[in-house]
C-alpha cells in the first residue's frame, strides 16, 4: 500500500513538473557573462552564432580587442534568445561589456535600465544617418550605435516578367504594381510573395505598405492603414499572392520566390547574393502614390551594458569604435550584407559594388520601427498590427474592423 | 555504500556488557539517531535535486505570477506584489476563453483518437503474423523523428498552394483547403499532426499491457463460446484498465504542454484560431519584442493547476480500482 502511495505521489510530481518545465524556463538562467574587472578580459555577445573564432568577423572582434589592449571573449547567441539572455544577465549583474542586439530591442533593454547611454559610455555617434540611429534614441538619449542597416525591397524575376510582357521600370506605385500582377497572373504565372505571418516578421514586411500610404503607427485604424491592408487582402483574394503568405516566414517566402514561378518577392538585403545567383533584379518598394516607400530598418546595434566598474567603459568604447567606424567596417558590412550607417561609408560601399544602389536608396528612405520616440510602445503596437494583418488575410475580419480592434487593444494595453 | 557499513556496524557489533535500563535506552536512541542520519544522507541528493530543479523553478514561476514584472523591475528585482491581479487579467483577457476551448479540444480529441487507434493497432499486432514485427517497428517512426522534422514536414504537406494534401484533394475533385491559413481549419490541422505523432506511444504501452494478460483467459473464453468481439470487451478491455488509466494520464499531461508542433505549423494562428494555453504562454513571454514575464508565468501556472487536477482525478480513480 505504501509503495503505491509513493508511486502515486511520484506520478503527480512528475505530471506537475513536466508542465513546470515549460514555464520554468522563464525563471531559470545561466548567466555566463562573467566580467573579471581587472583581468583584461572583455565579454562580447552578438547574435551571429554562425560565425566562429576563425571567421572574418570573429578575427575582427579579437583584433579590435587586441588593439585596445585586452582580450575579448566573444559568444554568439540565437537572436531570438539574446533579449532574455541579456535581461537575465542584467538581473544578476553579469552583463557583457558589449552587447550587439537587433535594433528594435534596444529600446526594450534601455527601458530595463541595463544599457548605458552615450553620455555615460562616451560613444560618438558622429555622422551616422539619423534615420538609422533612430532606433537607439529614446527621450533624447542615445543607447548605442548601428553596425549597419538592412531593409526590404522588391525582388523581381525578369524571366517571368518578360513572359508576361511587364517592364519592371513601369512599376512606380501601387496601381502599376497591381496592374503588373494582373498581367503576370493572366500569363499563367504567380504574382507576388511576402511574409504575412503573426510574428514581428509580419509587421516588418507590412510596414513598407503601411508607411507607403502615409499611415502612422500611433493610429492603426487610419484610412491609409486600411488601404494598405486592403491592398494585401486584395492580392490574396485575386490570386495575385498565394494563400500561404499568411504563414510564410521571410525564409519560406524566399523559397517560394526561388521556385522561379513568382514575378515579385518582398524580401531583405540579406538575400541579395542568392538573388544575383538566380538572376533576379531588385526595385524599391513603391509607395501608394509613387516614389520609394519608407521601409523599416533592420540590423544590429552595438550597446554598452551597465557595469559596476565605471572604468571599464573607456576600453569598451575603444572596442566598439574599432568595430563600428574603423577601416574594416565596410568589409564587415559587406560580409554581413548590410548597408553602412553613414553617408560617407555608403558611398565607399557603392564605389566598390554598384549593385548596391537600390539598397542604399532604400535605406535612405528607411525608418526605425521604434523611432519617433515610440520606444517600448512599438512592441505593443506591432503585436496588434500583425494580429490585424492576420485577421484580414485569413478573412476572419474585414481590414477596417481588424484595424479598429487593433487600435482599441493598443489603447487598452498602453493605458495600463 | 561506505557510509552505510561504517555507521551501522559499530552499533550492531558492540558487546552487551552494561545492561542498565538507562544506558540501553541511551544506546537505542543513539543508534536510532544514527540510522536516521544515514537515511537523511541517502535522501539528501535526491531531495536537493528536487528542490533545485523542481521546487525552486516552480516557486519562481508562482512568484513571477504574483508580482507585476516589467522589463525594468525584472532587472532591478523590485516588482510590486499584486496578489491575484495577473490571474484576473489573464482570465478576463479576450484570448482566454478561446485558448481554453482550443486546449480542451486539442487535448481531448488528441488523446481519445490516439488511444483508440493505439489500442486497435496493439490488438492487431498482438496476433503475431509474418512481418508483424517489422510493421510494428515502422509504426514507431513518428516517435523517433525529432518534432521539428515531423512538424515541418506536416507543414509542407498541408501548405495551401503547393502542399501534397491539397494536390491529392485536387486530383479527386475537391477544391483547395487552407489547412494552416484558415481559422476554420488550423486547429484541425495541428490535431491531425499531433495524433499521428502520439499513436506510437499509445501503441507501445497498450501492446505491453496486452502481453501481461495470460493466454489461458482467452482459451477459457473461447471454450465458453465467446467471439472475438466479446473476448475484447469482456477480457482484454477490463484487464487493460490500469494500463489505460496511466496511458490516458500521461497522454493528457503530454498533450497539454504540446508547443513545438503548433508553433512550427501555425504559430497559434491565423488570428489565434489554434492558440492553446501553452502557445499563449510562450507568446506572452517570448513572442514579442517586449517580454511580459508575469502574464506568461500566470498562464503557465494555470496549465500546471490543470495538470495537477487531472493527476488528482487519476489518483482517485486508481484507488477505486484497487479496492
Q: Is A214 within 8 Å of A165 (Cβ atoms)?
A: no
A83/A100 Cα distance (integer angstroms): 10
> Which residues of chain A lie closer than 8 angstroms to B286, CB-CB?
80, 84
CATH 3.40.190.10 residue ranges in chain A? 41-146+300-337, 152-297+372-415
Neighbours of B146 (CB within 10 A): 9
Q: How many Å lie between the alpha carbon of A96 and the closest alpha carbon of chain B?
A: 14
Supply the DSSP string of A55-123, one letter for each residue: SHHHHHHHHHHHHTTSEEEEEE--HHHHHHHHHHHHHTT---SEEEEEHHHHHHHHHHT-B--HHHH--
For residue A76, give the nearest of A61, A93, A87, A94 by alpha carbon: A61
Residue B111: strand, helix, or coil:
helix
Supply the DSSP string of A134-152, one letter for each residue: GGGEETTEE--EES-BB-E
Task: Report whether the peptide linkage leading into residue B122 is cis, meaning its omega lies within 30 degrees of zero.
Answer: no
B267 contacts A16? CB cut-off 8 A: no
ipTM of this predicted structure: 0.81
Q: pLDDT tens for chain B, 323 residues: list them.
A: 444 444 444 444 455 555 566 667 777 888 889 999 999 999 999 999 999 999 999 999 999 999 998 888 888 888 889 989 999 999 999 899 999 999 999 999 999 999 999 999 998 988 888 888 888 888 888 888 999 999 999 999 999 888 899 999 999 988 888 999 999 999 999 999 999 999 999 999 999 999 888 888 888 888 888 888 888 888 888 889 889 988 999 999 899 989 999 999 999 979 889 999 999 999 999 888 888 899 999 999 999 999 999 989 988 888 887 76
In sequence order, which residues have a C-beta less than 8 Å from that of residue A290 and are 6 or more positions away? A172, A173
The shares of helix, strand and coil residues in chain B, as percent rounded to the nearest 5, are 75, 0, 25
Task: Give B121's Cβ-side CA count (13 Å radius).
Answer: 23
Neighbours of B291 (CB within 10 A): 23
C-alpha cell belonging to residue B127: 496476433
B178 contacts A22? CB cut-off 8 A: no
Which pTM does this prediction carry? 0.84
C-alpha cell belonging to residue A329: 567596417
In CATH, the architecture of A41-146+300-337 is 3-Layer(aba) Sandwich (3.40)
Residue B149: strand, helix, or coil:
helix
C-alpha cell belonging to residue A280: 533576379
A386/A381 Cα distance (integer angstroms): 9
> Partners of A301 in the beta sheet?
A101, A146
Q: The cell 588593439 sits on which residue?
A: A67
> Partners of A115 in the beta sheet?
A305
Residue ranges of B 217-276 with Cβ closer than 8 A to chain A: 246, 249, 253-254, 256-257, 259, 266-273
For chain B, what is the radius of gyration of the CA atoms?
Answer: 27
Query: Which whole-number Å values give the CA distances from B224 to A410, B211, B218, B220, in the listed order?
Result: 71, 22, 10, 6
> Which residues of chain B lie closer than 8 angstroms to A391, CB-CB?
270-271
A321/A316 Cα distance (integer angstroms): 9
Nearest CA in chain B to A190: B161
For residue A44, give the nearest of A270, A342, A318 by alpha carbon: A318
Q: What's the pLDDT at A332? A: 86
Neighbours of B131 (CB within 10 A): 9
Q: How do strand A262-268 and strand A141-142 relate by DSSP bridges? A: unpaired
For residue B208, give the nearest of B234, B244, B233 by alpha carbon: B244
A112 contacts B71? CB cut-off 8 A: yes
Q: Is it true that domain A152-297+372-415 has CATH number 3.40.50.300?
A: no
Helix (H) or strand (E) holding A305: none
Q: How many Å lie between the alpha carbon of B163 and the closest alpha carbon of chain A?
A: 10
For residue B122, give the nearest of B140, B101, B105, B95 by alpha carbon: B140
> Which residues of chain B lie closer than 8 angstroms to A79, CB-CB?
none
Residue A153: strand, helix, or coil:
strand
> Which residues of chain B lie closer than 8 angstroms to A109, CB-CB?
71
Q: At what angle do helices B96-126 and B186-211 cross, to 10 degrees?
A: 40
B267 contacts A23? CB cut-off 8 A: no
Q: What's the pLDDT at B17? A: 53
> Which residues of chain A lie closer than 8 angstroms to B249, CB-CB?
11, 15
Nearest CA in chain A to B252: A15
A238/A182 Cα distance (integer angstroms): 9
A390 contacts B64? CB cut-off 8 A: no
Nearest CA in chain B to A24: B57
> Which residues of chain B lie closer than 8 angstroms to A256, CB-CB?
162
Helix (H) or strand (E) holding B204: helix B186-211
Q: How many Å lie between the alpha carbon of A22 and the closest alpha carbon of chain B?
A: 7
Q: pLDDT tens for chain A, 416 residues: list them.
A: 444 544 454 444 444 444 444 443 333 333 334 444 445 899 999 999 888 889 888 999 999 999 999 999 999 998 888 988 999 999 888 999 999 999 999 999 998 999 999 988 888 888 888 899 999 998 889 999 999 999 999 999 999 999 999 999 999 999 999 999 999 999 999 999 999 999 999 999 999 999 999 999 999 999 999 999 999 999 999 999 999 999 999 999 999 999 999 999 999 999 998 999 999 999 999 999 999 999 999 999 999 999 988 889 999 999 999 888 767 788 888 888 899 998 888 998 998 888 899 999 999 999 999 988 898 899 999 999 999 999 999 998 999 999 999 999 999 988 86
For residue B194, give the nearest of B247, B238, B155, B224 by alpha carbon: B155
Residue ranges of B 142-181 with Cβ closer than 8 A to chain A: 155, 159-162, 176, 178, 180-181
Q: Which residues of B211-249 are buried (b: 16+ CB within 10 A; e: fewer)?
A: eebeeeeeeebeeeebeeeebeeebbeebbeebbeebbb
Amino acid at each position: 500500500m505504501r509503495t503505491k502511495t509513493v508511486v502515486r505521489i511520484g506520478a503527480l510530481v512528475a505530471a506537475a513538473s513536466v508542465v513546470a518545465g515549460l514555464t520554468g524556463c522563464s525563471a531559470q538562467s545561466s548567466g555566463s557573462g562573467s566580467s573579471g574587472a581587472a583581468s583584461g578580459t572583455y565579454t562580447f555577445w552578438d547574435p551571429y552564432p554562425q560565425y566562429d573564432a576563425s571567421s572574418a568577423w570573429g578575427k575582427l572582434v579579437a583584433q579590435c580587442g587586441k588593439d585596445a589592449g585586452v582580450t575579448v571573449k566573444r559568444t554568439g547567441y540565437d537572436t531570438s534568445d539574446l533579449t532574455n539572455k541579456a535581461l537575465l544577465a542584467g538581473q544578476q549583474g553579469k552583463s557583457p561589456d558589449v552587447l550587439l542586439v537587433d535594433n528594435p530591442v534596444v529600446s526594450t533593454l534601455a527601458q530595463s535600465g541595463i544599457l548605458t547611454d552615450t553620455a555615460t559610455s562616451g560613444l560618438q555617434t558622429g555622422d551616422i544617418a539619423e534615420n538609422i540611429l533612430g532606433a537607439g534614441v529614446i527621450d533624447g538619449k542615445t543607447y548605442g550605435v548601428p553596425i549597419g542597416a538592412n531593409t526590404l525591397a522588391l525582388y523581381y524575376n525578369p524571366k517571368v516578367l518578360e513572359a508576361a510582357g511587364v517592364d519592371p521600370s513601369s512599376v512606380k506605385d501601387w496601381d502599376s504594381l497591381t496592374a503588373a500582377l494582373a498581367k503576370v497572373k493572366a500569363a499563367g504565372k504567380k504574382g507576388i510573395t511576402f511574409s504575412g505571418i503573426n510574428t514581428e516578421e509580419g509587421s516588418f514586411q507590412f510596414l513598407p505598405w503601411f508607411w507607403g500610404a502615409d499611415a502612422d503607427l500611433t493610429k492603426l485604424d487610419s484610412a491609409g492603414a486600411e488601404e494598405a491592408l486592403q491592398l494585401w487582402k486584395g492580392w490574396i483574394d485575386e490570386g495575385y499572392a498565394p494563400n500561404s503568405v499568411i504563414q510564410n516566414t521571410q525564409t519560406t517566402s524566399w523559397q517560394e520566390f526561388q521556385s522561379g514561378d513568382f514575378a515579385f518577392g518582398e524580401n531583405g538585403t540579406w538575400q541579395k547574393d542568392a538573388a544575383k545567383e538566380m538572376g533576379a533584379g531588385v526595385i524599391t518598394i513603391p509607395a501608394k502614390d509613387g516614389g520609394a516607400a519608407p521601409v523599416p530598418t533592420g540590423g544590429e546595434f552595438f550597446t554598452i551594458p551597465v557595469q559596476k566598474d565605471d572604468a571599464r567603459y573607456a576600453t569598451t568604447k575603444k572596442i566598439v569604435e574599432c568595430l563600428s567606424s574603423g577601416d574594416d567596417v565596410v568589409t564587415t558590412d559587406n560580409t554581413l550584407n548590410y548597408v553602412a550607417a553613414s553617408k560617407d561609408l555608403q558611398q565607399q560601399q557603392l564605389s566598390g559594388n554598384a549593385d548596391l544602389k537600390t539598397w542604399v536608396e532604400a535605406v535612405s528612405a528607411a525608418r526605425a520601427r521604434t523611432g519617433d520616440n515610440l520606444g517600448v510602445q512599438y512592441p505593443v503596437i506591432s503585436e496588434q498590427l500583425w494580429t490585424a494583418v492576420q485577421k484580414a488575410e485569413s478573412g476572419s475580419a474585414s481590414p477596417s474592423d481588424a484595424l479598429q480592434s487593433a487600435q482599441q487593444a493598443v489603447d487598452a494595453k498602453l493605458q495600463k | 555504500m561506505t557510509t552505510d557499513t561504517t555507521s551501522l556496524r559499530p552499533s550492531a557489533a558492540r558487546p552487551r556488557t552494561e545492561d542498565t535500563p538507562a544506558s540501553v535506552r541511551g544506546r537505542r536512541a543513539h543508534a536510532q539517531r544514527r540510522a536516521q542520519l544515514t537515511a537523511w544522507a541517502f535522501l539528501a541528493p535526491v531531495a536537493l535535486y528536487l528542490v533545485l530543479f523542481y521546487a525552486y523553478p516552480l516557486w519562481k514561476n508562482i512568484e513571477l505570477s504574483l508580482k507585476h514584472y516589467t522589463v525594468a523591475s525584472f532587472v532591478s528585482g523590485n516588482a510590486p506584489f499584486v496578489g491575484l491581479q495577473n490571474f484576473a487579467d489573464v482570465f478576463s483577457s479576450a484570448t482566454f476563453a478561446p485558448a481554453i476551448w482550443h486546449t480542451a479540444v486539442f487535448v481531448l480529441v488528441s488523446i481519445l483518437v490516439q488511444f483508440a487507434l493505439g489500442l486497435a493497432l496493439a490488438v492487431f499486432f498482438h496476433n503475431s503474423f509474418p512481418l508483424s514485427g517489422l510493421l510494428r517497428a515502422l509504426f514507431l517512426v513518428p516517435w523517433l523523428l525529432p518534432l521539428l522534422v515531423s512538424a515541418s514536414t506536416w507543414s509542407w504537406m498541408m501548405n495551401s498552394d503547393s502542399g501534397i494534401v491539397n494536390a491529392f484533394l485536387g486530383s479527386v475533385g475537391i477544391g483547395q483547403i487552407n489547412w494552416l491559413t484558415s481559422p476554420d481549419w488550423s486547429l484541425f490541422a495541428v490535431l491531425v499532426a499531433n495524433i499521428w505523432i502520439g499513436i506510437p506511444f499509445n501503441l507501445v504501452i497498450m501492446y505491453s499491457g496486452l502481453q501481461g494478460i495470460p493466454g489461458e483467459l482467452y482459451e477459457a473464453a473461447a471454450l465458453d463460446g465467446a467471439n472475438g468481439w466479446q473476448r475484447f470487451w469482456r477480457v482484454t478491455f477490463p484487464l487493460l484498465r490500469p494500463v489505460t488509466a496511466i496511458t490516458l494520464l500521461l497522454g493528457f499531461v503530454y498533450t497539454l504542454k504540446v508547443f513545438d508542433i503548433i508553433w512550427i505549423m501555425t504559430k497559434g494562428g491565423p488570428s489565434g484560431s489554434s492558440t492553446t494555453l501553452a502557445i499563449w504562454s510562450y507568446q506572452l513571454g517570448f513572442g514579442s519584442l517586449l517580454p511580459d514575464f508575469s502574464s506568461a508565468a500566470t498562464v503557465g501556472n494555470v496549465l500546471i493547476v490543470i495538470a495537477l487536477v487531472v493527476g488528482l482525478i487519476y489518483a482517485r480513480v486508481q484507488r477505486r480500482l484497487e479496492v
